[in-house]
């Protein structure tokens, strides 16, 4: 979920921050093939058909990457965040009205394939999810959904009739979960499961390319294909396997990976004994466990004038580079330019946030902006693209989830010119005023010296005040 990690207090199966997921319970093991199967490989894959199942993503302030889907018959278009940190689809219903802000809404009465989901008692099945940013509530429904030109029938989703105030301000209309069945509260089977079941010709994977550079190739999500030439002609995938808790059943939840270490170039380090990270397109920055957050922020801002993650009179060069070590033997650097946004006026924002009680690290958009990402459902692994040695996001754009005031060079020159002009005008006016005042003083001084002395003024006679007269006295 954009603008912070999700908090689902009413959906225990979805709770990233569930207190039950303590470190002592996180005995995790790789899924599927042995580690050797996840070594770097050079691979480009396009669909055998000529169809393109790509969804363009619009970048809102490097904070939300929003795409479109269609729902109903005939289709109605709405915008969503394709969120790999959750598994449910929810969209605002027409009856939500002002309680969903200015979001576009879905009108089920205009869809011939719309079905309302009823509970065993014959009443509409309820839907409710709590996020860190607020709550959405409504009812469960079922309809046809189209993503990237792929029509998926009988998708269960949350039809929202209320959104908390902060969620009303989000740029997207709803959320499309892209994680695993273990997180799904309503959309069972998940969107990905239904897509694979109804379109087996489409490879069971999707890729996400995020770019914050308007001159770069457009951000997008592609079902069933990827294009490593976006990164470079010799680019390859560096895979890391998914892991699950050792005591859970075979149902997967997150895009969860083993994190072997996080290091700063200045020497600070975390996860020396191993920890875990979720690859999450619904989180804008890097999410840090609560017990790590303060130490991490202090380390990356050491010696700077900062208040929490906002620093003043600084530049990107003042911050250290990071590196993330993922199973089996991958090292992914994040350069300062990847996780820090600075204005030309010296205000910088470190793009990290608390993971809302979760013991996991969250590799959000900051990470996937730096590394083109492949979500391989078939082989239960995540791939990050590099050309040669991994070097962070310098190959395209610049990272960022906070749009720090960053005027263009021409705008700065214009402001500087205007400021200098005002200063020049004021200085010239002060000079002219002082010059005129000196001339005026000299003129009156010369006049006073040349004039004859003035005779003394005669004394005024004192008026007689008689009895009954009133004497006015000026106070």
Q: Per residue in 21-49, pLDDT tens? A: 223 333 344 454 443 333 334 344 544 34
Active site residue 107: no
Active site residue 130: no
- Whether 342 shows a pLDDT value over 80: the answer reads yes
What is the per-residue pLDDT for 180?
A: 96
Longest CA–CA separation in the chain, Å: 126
Confidence of residue 473 (pLDDT cuts 50, 70, 90): very low
| Rounded-to-integer distance, Cα 451 and Cα 448, Å | 6
- Whether 142 shows a pLDDT value over 60: the answer reads yes
Give yes or no for a contact between 45 and 225, defined as CB atoms under 8 angstroms apart: yes
- Residue ranges of domains in the chain: 12-409
- Phi-psi region at 195: left, alpha or beta (left = phi > 0; alpha = psi -120 to 50): alpha
Least confident of 164-173, 258-267, 424-433: 424-433
Give yes or no for a contact between 156 and 141, defined as CB atoms under 8 angstroms apart: yes
- DSSP annotation of 194 reads H
Strand boundaries in 303-411, DSSP class E? 305-307, 310-312, 322-326, 330-334, 340-342, 348-350, 352-354, 361-363, 373-376, 381-387
Confidence of residue 289 (pLDDT cuts 50, 70, 90): very high
Closest CA to 134 of 95, 93, 175, 105: 175
Residue 22: Cβ within 10 Å count? 9
What is the per-residue pLDDT for 376?
A: 98
Contacts of 458 (CB under 8 A, 6+ apart): none
Q: Give the angle subtended at the CA of 365 by the CAs of 138 and 129, to the nearest 5°.
A: 15
User: What's the Cα-to-Cα distance from 37 to each of 250, 371, 425, rounded to whole Å?
Assistant: 21, 20, 71
Across 369-383, average pLDDT: 97
Across 225-236, average pLDDT: 94
Query: What are the backbone angles phi and psi of residue 422, rounded to the nearest 5°?
Result: -60, -45
pTM assigned to the model = 0.77
List 161, 227, 280, 365, catalytic entry: 280
Contacts of 203 (CB under 8 A, 6+ apart): 45, 47, 224, 225, 378
Least confident of 54-68, 103-117, 277-291, 318-332: 54-68
CATH class of 12-409: mainly beta
Answer whether the bond into residue 328 is a cis peptide, omega within 30°. yes
Mean pLDDT of the chain: 80
């Amino acid at each position: 979920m954009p603008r912070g990690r999700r908090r689902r207090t009413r959906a225990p199966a979805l709770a990233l921050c569930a207190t039950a997921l303590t470190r002592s319970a996180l005995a995790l093991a790789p899924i599927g093939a042995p580690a050797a199967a996840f070594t770097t490989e050079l691979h480009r894959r396009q669909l055998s058909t000529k169809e393109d199942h790509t969804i363009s993503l619009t970048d809102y302030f490097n904070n939300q990457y929003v795409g479109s889907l269609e729902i109903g018959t005939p289709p109605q278009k709405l915008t969503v965040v394709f969120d790999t940190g959750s598994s449910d689809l929810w969209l605002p219903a027409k009856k939500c009205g002002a309680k969903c802000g200015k979001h576009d809404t879905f009108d089920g009465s205009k869809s011939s394939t719309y079905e309302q989901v009823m509970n065993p008692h014959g009443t509409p099945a309820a839907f409710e999810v709590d996020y860190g940013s607020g709550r959405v509530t409504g009812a469960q429904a079922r309809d046809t959904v189209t993503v990237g030109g792929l029509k998926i029938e009988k998708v269960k989703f949350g039809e929202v009739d209320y959104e908390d105030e902060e969620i009303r301000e989000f740029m997207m209309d709803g959320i499309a979960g892209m994680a695993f069945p273990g997180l799904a509260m309503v959309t069972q089977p998940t969107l990905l499961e239904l897509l694979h079941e109804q379109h087996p010709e489409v490879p069971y994977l999707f890729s996400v390319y995020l770019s914050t550079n308007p001159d770069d190739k457009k951000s997008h999500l592609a079902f069933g294909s990827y294009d490593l030439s976006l990164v470079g002609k010799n680019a390859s995938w560096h895979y890391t396997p998914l892991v699950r808790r050792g005591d859970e059943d075979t149902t997967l939840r997150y895009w969860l990976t083993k994190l072997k270490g996080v290091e700063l170039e200045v020497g600070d380090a975390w996860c020396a004994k191993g920890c875990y990270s979720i690859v999450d397109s619904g989180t804008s920055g890097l999410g840090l466990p609560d017990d790590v957050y303060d130490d991490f922020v202090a380390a990356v801002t050491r010696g700077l004038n900062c208040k929490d993650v906002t620093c003043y009179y600084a530049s990107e060069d003042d911050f250290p580079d990071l590196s993330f070590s993922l199973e089996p033997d991958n090292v992914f650097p994040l350069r300062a330019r990847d996780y820090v946004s600075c204005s030309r006026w010296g205000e910088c924002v470190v793009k990290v946030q608390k993971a809302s009680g979760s013991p996991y690290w969250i590799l959000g958009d900051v990470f996937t902006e730096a590394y083109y990402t492949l979500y391989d459902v078939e082989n239960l692994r995540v791939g990050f693209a590099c050309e040669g040695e991994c070097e962070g996001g310098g190959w395209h754009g610049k990272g960022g989830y906070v749009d720090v005031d960053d005027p263009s060079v021409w705008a700065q020159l214009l402001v500087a010119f205007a400021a200098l002009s005002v200063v020049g005008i004021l200085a010239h006016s002060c000079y002219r005023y002082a010059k005129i005042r000196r001339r005026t003083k000299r003129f009156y001084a010369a006049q006073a010296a040349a004039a004859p002395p003035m005779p003394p003024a005669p004394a005024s006679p004192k008026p007689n005040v008689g009895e009954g007269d009133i004497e006015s006295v000026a106070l």
